[in-house]
Structure 1
């Protein structure tokens, strides 16, 4: 068999029956019509009885390869294109590199929410998973046999704890490298750029896990996801759109070596060897955000996305996307942007801007090749006459700062929030408020109003910012026990899966505002209540911030 031969240079060989073998002197793999198997590396098969490598979209719509050819060949590498009806998956194999660069070029994908490639590998050889958030053994396959399945890919053990693939999720734009490894072998995905990922800073998706039906070790490479942790949408994919290149990298299981390789890839990106004009045509963007009260927009989240800035950032997935944060003076810069026209959005990332709940938007940002688009000073308009009565939590579209907010991904955590809670303004702090409200009961905010304030103003404004909502929980908002200010639930909020898929930080952001006539507020003590009157296990409201202010 060719897997047992040492072929020094990169190669592709058609072996009939819709199958090909390709690789170099360090590794080789056999590609069939759908699955690639028999990954020969370091003297043995790293896939074994597992399913192998494949690519697809939206569930099990796996691509079927019709042909393969070398489209570029140099003294250093070959670029192999595997062609399917939907597009072409490229493997770029360099001499002496354990692994391969990969990228996918769209030809005819339908509107999609998810696109991914992945390896399902030998579970004996690959026993642990590693992301930037988590590095530990994968659950042993035997654990699933005596566990109770409670929802998709989620099981409850006899001791009450849970195992789920969602616990291995993370934010795609914060990653360094993801992979699976054992004592002798590591398999890693390294993305030196995230410009081909959908969504903004808060886009999150799956990474690695144990396949519950077979025990395979799963190494996921989800490069498009507008579904798993947000309101599910499909987006059109332009012909010629490229996902990648990323590096699939093999080593002896060393995380230190994978980290070294990741730094090397960062230094080489954008890759000079990709022969695509639109990929190579890039410019840069700079600007300085300043609030209308003359404060710099310190630490603001900055997103370069679709020209239609009315489209939710997490629902954007047709084009290329860039994210960064402003510095202390509000200055931001984004290098190596594909040329084209974009929309710019910015919002508070908490801290200095913790009281700012408006967004900055600007359309028609033009990026030209080899040029810097300098936007100069940008004026971010915020309300100028509002005076805060109280605020709980910073506005940052995340549950950070609350009890359990930002905790490691874990299933069922929302159910541990109390049913009833009293928060007293001036005595309590954000850590006394929980990240998610789920159980039947009432959370009260007790606050005081000075008589002088009631004389000088006529209206108060209550602003509620939710970092996410998972149906079918229902909430009634009351003032002083009997005045209903509003009702929130599945009737007026579209659900996202974050809370029941182990998320503790963010899902889809929602903002609600309610005007309160000053006559409804008492001199002295008042009470604002959030009453959960419809309950579904593991669902509920993911909090971002609450502010009451005079307007």
Structure 2
């Protein structure tokens, strides 16, 4: 046992001593257990913690003798809003030498809690039986706000907004409020990219509740998939810890996706401790080393292999730094809303090589695209169902580049105010009018978002000879890449006061990324205009 873990255990022991005098009855040493109280109430846990589950809500949670729910709602699970599951039975489906697997059943499927002898928390996974087409699937804890004061993701570690702030604030949208000083508080500021996570949760000076996802193949969509994590509930003040394992709506043009019977989301670890972030970090590293978990005796879950290859562009370049996505066999379906099966992401190295480990046995479609860097000049998407490696990514013949603003990719990184952290209202800092001069201005002079009525202009000097690119009697192509489009913005694209085209809600369906604190990406769009030299 490391010195770090010894210190953490001593701290937990002192907490136990501090609470045992006033705690509710603590079960004698018995290890993992499930006990039915009445037709719709069960208690389960181990010697460190126990949960009381009712038809919908787990309204009681005790850890080392202390109640952590208080007057909050506790734990529950559901899909698409408040379609919360109604649990009808609970049974121990399997046992090991040091654990039990408890399955709570509802009409839609089974939520499993895998409880080990001395683990503070439980592994969870959900098996689909009869879910409808959906966009959101989540579990969550609503815990005592007096005990859980702070929220932590890989992007933020700070106090949750004080409940008192909401009392005199103006609500501007769902769970988003403007204070008298003009600043905003919103649950979306704690969002993150699901495949970038290490661990996240809510904590205070004595307790912490964490979610650790060492595997991410049950998350939908590609490497830009993002969703909610933690927040303050404005109506009650509860400290909320979300575990959204399916989300094809919050930061993209939403779609509901059919789910096959037998699909498993998870397992992930719900972990309790004394509120020490370093201990949660240590536990996350332990889980990563153990994943995929050997105790889950499911043939499809355990049947895994690897995928490795090298991707080369047809113009001879290696696909350096390309984003690699292993997803649905129907590669015509945009990656942002793929969510029926299991998904894997990687980034190619300098030579275009990539490797994906612990891939579930199955048939997949492979897609790749520029992630900036060496492919910053390339917009074409490579995709298909490939059986042979290495792969060649067919791209158009390379043409002379006249000018570019920023690296080509699917994000707003590199532009003014673009990129993390999530923050509401920052688009208001963008000017109504902006002039970018090719050869003088930098990409950082271009703002990540335009929200005020005005004109953004690009000035460049170009003569007829410069436009003679060969083969097309002198023409150029204007390519526009949008990392997201929200609400009803209307854009006229002109060159020398001549209209090339108009973009707006009749062309682009709105995605909510911008007004939900997103400053990096939403639903990617791409358009091109042919420009004859006689403009």
Smaller-chain TM-score range?
A: over 0.9
Corresponding residue for residue 408 of structure 1: 421
The 8 Å contact of residues 464 and 533 in structure 2, kept in 1 or not, is answered as no
Distance in 2 (CA, whole Å) between partners of 1:427 and 1:290 is 34
Corresponding residue for residue 99 of structure 2: 77
The 8 Å contact of residues 114 and 124 in structure 2, kept in 1 or not, is answered as yes
Mapped pair 1:376 → 2:393: no
User: Which has more strand, going by share of residues?
Assistant: 1
Q: CA deviation at 1:384?
A: 1.7
SS at match of 1:448: coil
Corresponding residue for residue 497 of structure 1: 512
Please give the residue correspondences for 1:15-414 in structure 2 after superposition, counting only pairs within 5 Å. 15-363=37-385, 375-414=388-427
Change in 2 beyond 3 A, CA 1:490/1:172 = same
So what's the TM-score if we normalise by structure 2?
Answer: 0.94
Aligned residues: 510
Report which stretch shifted further, 291-300 or 173-182. 291-300
The 8 Å contact of residues 3 and 29 in structure 1, kept in 2 or not, is answered as no
SS at match of 1:248: strand
Distance in 2 (CA, whole Å) between partners of 1:204 and 1:438 is 22
Corresponding residue for residue 33 of structure 2: 11
SS at match of 1:340: coil
Q: CA deviation at 1:510?
A: 0.6
Match of 2:525 among 502, 510, 514: 510
Deviations 1:244-282 (A, max 9, x none): 000000011111111110111011111011011110111
Mapped pair 1:467 → 2:483: yes
Q: CA deviation at 1:4?
A: 2.5
Distance in 2 (CA, whole Å) between partners of 1:264 and 1:456 is 57
Q: CA deviation at 1:364?
A: 5.3
Deviations 1:189-231 (A, max 9, x none): 0001110001100100000000111000000000000000000
The 8 Å contact of residues 205 and 228 in structure 1, kept in 2 or not, is answered as yes
Deviations 1:6-35 (A, max 9, x none): 343000000004000000000001000000
Gaps of 5+ in 2: 1-22
SS at match of 2:484: strand
Q: CA deviation at 1:2?
A: 7.6
Deviations 1:73-131 (A, max 9, x none): 12210000000000000000000000000000000000000000000001001000000
Q: CA deviation at 1:396?
A: 1.2
Q: CA deviation at 1:416?
A: 1.3
The 8 Å contact of residues 468 and 475 in structure 2, kept in 1 or not, is answered as no
Match of 2:459 among 423, 436, 446: 446
The 8 Å contact of residues 108 and 239 in structure 1, kept in 2 or not, is answered as yes
Distance in 1 (CA, whole Å) between partners of 2:202 and 2:309 is 40
SS at match of 1:436: coil
Distance in 1 (CA, whole Å) between partners of 2:162 and 2:259 is 38
Distance in 1 (CA, whole Å) between partners of 2:427 and 2:234 is 24
Report which stretch shifted further, 450-459 or 246-255. 450-459
So what's the TM-score if we normalise by structure 1?
Answer: 0.91
Report which stretch shifted further, 172-181 or 41-50. 41-50
The 8 Å contact of residues 75 and 141 in structure 2, kept in 1 or not, is answered as yes
Distance in 1 (CA, whole Å) between partners of 2:275 and 2:468 is 69
Distance in 1 (CA, whole Å) between partners of 2:500 and 2:99 is 65
Q: CA deviation at 1:290?
A: 1.0
Change in 2 beyond 3 A, CA 1:363/1:284 = same
The 8 Å contact of residues 307 and 364 in structure 1, kept in 2 or not, is answered as no
Distance in 1 (CA, whole Å) between partners of 2:96 and 2:327 is 36
Report which stretch shifted further, 504-513 or 455-464. 455-464
Deviations 1:144-163 (A, max 9, x none): 11111011110000111000
Gaps of 5+ in 1: 366-374, 521-551
The 8 Å contact of residues 315 and 398 in structure 2, kept in 1 or not, is answered as no
CA RMSD between the two structures = 1.2
